[in-house]
Amino acid sequence: MRSRPTLNANQRDRRAFLQAAAAAAAALVGNLPFAALAQAGTSAKMKIGTVGSGRVGSAIGGAWVKAGHEVMFSSLDLEADKKLAARLGAGARAGTPREAAAFGAVLLVTVPYSALPGLGRDLGDLIKGKIIIDTSNPIVARDGEMAVAAREKGAGIASQEFLPGARIVRAFNAIGAARMAEAASRSERVGMPIAGDDTDAIRVASVLIRDVGYEPVLVGTLAAMGKYLIPGTPLAGEHSPEEIRKLAATLK
């Protein structure tokens, strides 16, 4: 067996420097200059927490796991989340909503709209400054009077009020979960209308939306266009990116 060559002091210092630099770079990616990577068209491997892991949350989160991201699923049923994570394999894990909010540099919120005020109270200290992809819709038949008020002011503004301090991007609001699960395998990319106010959040969300299999189309701000990203509007359903741009232009 050949012995390893002995490193001199300069070589040891250089190795230590390179190891420290690599660790720092990994920490940087794990924390969030994702925007720079998104600008370069690169999909960084991100840590994502889902608050809600039903049909929509499991479909989108599952696509992100397949794309190489680390995803922590959470809901009111931790055992179901553990089974989901075990089924998805490496890169998937389960936790409580607070654990998922602490884990993720990006959060996917996919819960009944009436749960948003409670989430804002319970997770408020953890979501400030975080990018939140908000899929939740105010459905009057399910969510009652608070949904009426949210639709009147616009879901974009309402979500911002319920989740103060978060960098919200509304997306995945009016396409069926089954279609989301298969989007990456389709030959043509369907457009995904999104609304947001934070440039970096929009860039990061756009990278993740492409990883699911859609082409993101920014239609406007949360105030101006967030109200149209719900079922029953012209932007609901599946459209090409160009069709979304034309439809959005008629709504402004």
- Encode pLDDT of 138-187 as tens digits: 999 999 999 999 999 999 999 999 999 999 999 999 888 888 988 888 88
Write the single-letter amino acid at 106. Answer: V
4 part of a folded domain: no
The band of 2, judged by pLDDT with boundaries at 50, 70 and 90, is very low
The band of 5, judged by pLDDT with boundaries at 50, 70 and 90, is very low
Length of the chain: 252
Handedness of CA 119, 111, 115, 174 (dihedral sign): positive
The whole-number pLDDT of residue 187 equals: 82
Query: Among 3-12, 51-60, 179-188, which stretch is predicted with the lowest mean pLDDT?
Result: 3-12
User: Would you say 177 and 56 are in contact if contact means Cβ atoms under 8 Å apart?
Assistant: yes
Is the pLDDT confidence value at 105 over 60? yes
Please tell me which residue, 100 or 22, carries the higher pLDDT value: 100
20 part of a folded domain: no
Q: Residue 145: phi, psi to the nearest 5?
A: -65, -30
- Counting the structural domains of the chain, the total is 1
Q: C-alpha angle with apex 34: 16 to 93, nearest 5 degrees?
A: 85
Please tell me which residue, 239 or 176, carries the higher pLDDT value: 239
110 part of a folded domain: yes
Q: C-alpha angle with apex 188: 186 to 192, nearest 5 degrees?
A: 95
Write the single-letter amino acid at 210. Answer: R
Is the pLDDT confidence value at 209 over 90? yes
Integer Cα distance of 24 and 232 in angstroms? 47
Helices in 32-154 by DSSP H: which ranges? 34-39, 55-66, 78-88, 97-103, 116-127, 140-143, 145-153
The whole-number pLDDT of residue 8 equals: 54
Structural domain of 55: 43-251
Overall average pLDDT of the 201-215 stretch: 96
139 part of a folded domain: yes
11 part of a folded domain: no
> Residue 137 is part of a domain; what is its CATH number?
3.40.50.720
25 part of a folded domain: no
Please tell me which residue, 219 or 9, carries the higher pLDDT value: 219
- Encode pLDDT of 113-136 as tens digits: 999 999 999 999 999 999 999 999
Integer Cα distance of 155 and 10 in angstroms? 60
**Closest C-alpha to 224, from 247, 198, 192, 197:** 197
Integer Cα distance of 159 and 76 in angstroms? 20
Give the three-class secondary structure for 132.
Answer: strand
Burial of 212 (0-12, 13-18, 19+ CB in 10 A): buried
The whole-number pLDDT of residue 89 equals: 95
141 part of a folded domain: yes
Integer Cα distance of 57 and 116 in angstroms? 15
The band of 96, judged by pLDDT with boundaries at 50, 70 and 90, is very high
The whole-number pLDDT of residue 13 equals: 53
109 part of a folded domain: yes
Cβ within 8 Å of residue 229, ≥6 positions away: 155, 156, 170, 171, 173, 174, 193, 194, 195, 219, 235
